Amino acid sequence: MALLSAEQAATYLHLNVKRIQALARAGRLPGRRVGRRWLFDERDLAAVLGRPLEPDTLGLDLSARNQLRGRILGIHVEGLMAEVRIAIGEQELVAMITRSSTERLGLKVGDSAIAVIKSTEVMIGKGMGNG
């Protein structure tokens, strides 16, 4: 049993430490408080993510740091392209990939998958009047 600190759990789940602590306090993330520290069992976190704790599911060894693990919700193939919808936590990510990549990877609805995001640009928006 590997116990993770809140910082380690945040890295494992790709979330902010404060968010991890808030989810644990609300009972939405399995963890236990020991004194002033939160501890998380790695197996419990793996179960929350819906993935087994195996060496081949620990991520890809790539230069891209943004690797988001999720489950395939839908695949729409049309012509040479395929739209793949992936649930990542409570969010949904849509990726356009080639039909041949979809076939080569054997992607199916319900499969676990990793979305790798490599970009030189990220935009952030905020509604006007939101202080």
What per-residue confidence (pLDDT) applies to 86?
Answer: 94
Alpha helices for the chain (secondary structure H): 6-13, 17-25, 42-49, 99-105
Cα gap 10→66, rounded to integer Å: 14
List pLDDT tens digits, range 79-104. Answer: 999 999 999 888 999 999 999 889 98
Q: Comparing 39-43, 81-85, 93-97, 121-125, which segment has the lowest mean pLDDT?
A: 121-125
Q: Which domains does the chain have, with CATH numbers?
A: 3-57 (1.10.10), 66-117 (2.40.50.100)
Strand partners, 27: none
Q: What is the pLDDT of residue 62?
A: 61
pLDDT of 58? 46
